Structure 1
Amino acid sequence: MGRQHVDHGDIVRFAQDKVNLPKDKADEYRAQARRLRERLESYLDEHPDFTLKKMLLSGSLAKGTALRSLNDIDVGCYISGADAPSDIKALLDYLAERLRKAFPNFSPDQVKPQTYSVTVSFRGSGLDVDVVPILYDGDPQWYGNLVSQDDGSFLKTSIPLHLEFTRKRKTAQETHFAQVARLVKFWARNMKREKEDFRFKSFMIEMILSHLCDQGLDFSDYPEALQHFFTYLARSNMREKIVFTDCYAASAVGSFSEPVQIIDPVNEKNNVSRLYTAAQADAIVDAALDAGDAIDSALAAPTKQETVYYWQKVFGPSFQV
């Protein structure tokens, strides 16, 4: 019944109007990041001994899963050299000092060390670029030690391999993988507005959807794909260990003690959900059960008003048809 009132096409239009970062904005932001990178590369050509080796766009903008609400972008900055400090605060000050040298026309207040990154502010657009340091020793696959945005610890990672991991899933389900990821992230953002202590970081959402993609879930019907996602969270109780084999064998993954276990696809020793408590996992499951029930009710609702009411339980009051 409810399908005649709100169907896949209505979800597509809602995503285009309220969820997705518009293409012109995405292009503008990528261009700014590219200019930042190109200016650094130009500086590196003139200063081959400079310790900043490469800047790579990362995060949701690089993966094509950014929401309309995006107001900053993530860039990984590879740092090489024996003089690079291993203390986090000293490393960030070191990075900020060298970014100022590489971009002398930026005023000092446009390059500011934060807790785990250095923010470069563009005055024209008001866009902030969060530059995260990665200590690098020449690995050909661009593995290095990243400063984790979660807790400031050093984590082995490779931005190119992470981007390739997502690209593979996007290729398997062209358009639909990225769109469903954005819709789920929008739902999670709506949940955080309703409940201040609700936590469900975007990277975990993308990893769960990647797992479902690898299992053969068809993402091309958005109400069905969303329902499958919420059903998986409820069925697994957020306690199912998720492992990928793109960059290592499953047998290489050890045991973890944390209640939620989603293993980094490029680092078998990193549980990306290690900071999540059992109570936080249970809150995600409860929210997923509510969202799944709302979609079931929306698909069975006899009137358009009722159908929209149930979809608003998932996406908030901005959902209109």
Structure 2
Amino acid sequence: MDVVFYVSGKKVVEESFASLSEKIYEALVKVYPNKAVEDFEIQRKAATVSFVGTGLDVDIVPVIENPDKEGYGWQFDRFDGSKTETCAPCQIKFVKDRKDLDPDFRTLVRLAKRWRTNVECPLKSFHIELIMAHVLEVNGKDGSLEKRFRDFLLYIAESGLQEFITFPENSTVPAFTDPVVILDPVCDTNNVTSRITEDERKEIVRLADESWATANFASTGGDFDLWKELFGRAFKVEDAA
């Protein structure tokens, strides 16, 4: 889960990942005074807060607000210091438009996120939403939930996540060297999967391939227990409704 913090009144040329991280760190300590310092882990573009009781990890993403472009701002890369333009409200609208277009989109994303959590797949929520949106664009919205979830897994397994994923909203496609490229639909220069390593890409593909085989067997054999292997022992049919 990502939470974007917009920092206003700051100049992007005067800030860095370190300075923003320090501001966010200080804010987190004030907001969560009872949490141990070790619970806050600075990552490449975010600070992660781990809630031990629920097992929930929240990525706190600091963004310097662009006063001339509503909703837009810049986030910094921890390693190379580069700035990436982003627009969280625009990304939310993109996903909402897909939900409005496809009544099952929300359910499919929920299933995919539950699968991700159960098998410990290193995909972020927004990655899943964009992959699902791409599969919707390619395959359409026909078919059962079971088939369409299998199609989501099959796309990852067959493509190896080595295809550039773009959307009609994108006007240009820059060159990227990252192992996985999913273009931000609201900002052509932002690869939202830039933090995924090559080893993680291979792991995601392996998990999707194995899970597709399980899901395919569960669908043809009607074995409900196999679905629990994908979604967890507590999964019920109503959870997919």
Give the TM-score normalised by the residue count of structure 1: 0.59
**Correspondent of 1:270 among 190, 210, 222:** 190
Name the CA distance, whole Å, in 2 between partners of 1:290 and 1:273: 22
Kept in 2: contact 1:263–1:270 (CA 8 A):
yes
- Matched with 1:77 is 6
**Correspondent of 1:239 among 162, 169, 172:** 162
Partner SS for 2:91 = helix
Kept in 1: contact 2:6–2:65 (CA 8 A):
no
- Matched with 1:164 is 93
Residue 208 of structure 1, CA deviation: 0.6
- Matched with 2:200 is 280
Partner SS for 2:188 = coil
Residue 230 of structure 1, CA deviation: 1.3
Partner SS for 1:293 = helix
Deviations 1:198-224 (A, max 9, x none): 522222211111111222421662101
Aligned residues: 225
Name the CA distance, whole Å, in 2 between partners of 1:191 and 1:138: 41
Q: Which amino acid letter does the alignment assign opposite residue 308 of structure 1? A: F
Q: Which amino acid letter does the alignment assign opposite residue 318 of structure 1? A: A
Kept in 2: contact 1:161–1:266 (CA 8 A):
yes
Give the TM-score normalised by the residue count of structure 2: 0.76
- Structure 1: 5+ residue stretches without partners: 1-59, 61-72, 101-105, 122-126, 193-197
Name the CA distance, whole Å, in 1 between partners of 2:187 and 2:116: 26
**Correspondent of 1:206 among 129, 136, 153:** 129
- Is 1:226 aligned with 2:146? no
- Matched with 1:42 is none
- Is 1:182 aligned with 2:110? yes
Deviations 1:237-264 (A, max 9, x none): 2111101232x41xx2122223322112
Structure 1 pair 84/257, CA: closer, same or farther in 2 (3 Å)? Answer: closer
Kept in 2: contact 1:80–1:137 (CA 8 A):
no
Kept in 1: contact 2:114–2:231 (CA 8 A):
yes
Kept in 1: contact 2:4–2:63 (CA 8 A):
no
- Matched with 2:84 is 155
**Correspondent of 1:297 among 205, 212, 217:** 217
Residue 135 of structure 1, CA deviation: 1.2
- Is 1:109 aligned with 2:109? no
Kept in 2: contact 1:169–1:210 (CA 8 A):
yes
Partner SS for 2:33 = helix
Name the CA distance, whole Å, in 2 between partners of 1:219 and 1:146: 38
Q: Which amino acid letter does the alignment assign opposite residue 111 of structure 2? A: L
Name the CA distance, whole Å, in 2 between partners of 1:118 and 1:275: 14
Structure 1 pair 75/149, CA: closer, same or farther in 2 (3 Å)? Answer: farther
- Structure 2: 5+ residue stretches without partners: none
Partner SS for 1:215 = helix
- Matched with 2:233 is 317
Name the CA distance, whole Å, in 1 between partners of 2:166 and 2:57: 33
Partner SS for 1:76 = strand
Indicate the RMSD between aligned Cα atoms, in angstroms: 3.5
Kept in 2: contact 1:74–1:131 (CA 8 A):
yes
Q: Which amino acid letter does the alignment assign opposite residue 227 of structure 1? A: R
Kept in 1: contact 2:113–2:125 (CA 8 A):
yes
Residue 147 of structure 1, CA deviation: 4.4
Q: Which has the larger radius of gyration?
A: 1
Q: Which amino acid letter does the alignment assign opposite residue 85 of structure 2? A: K
Name the CA distance, whole Å, in 2 between partners of 1:204 and 1:261: 10
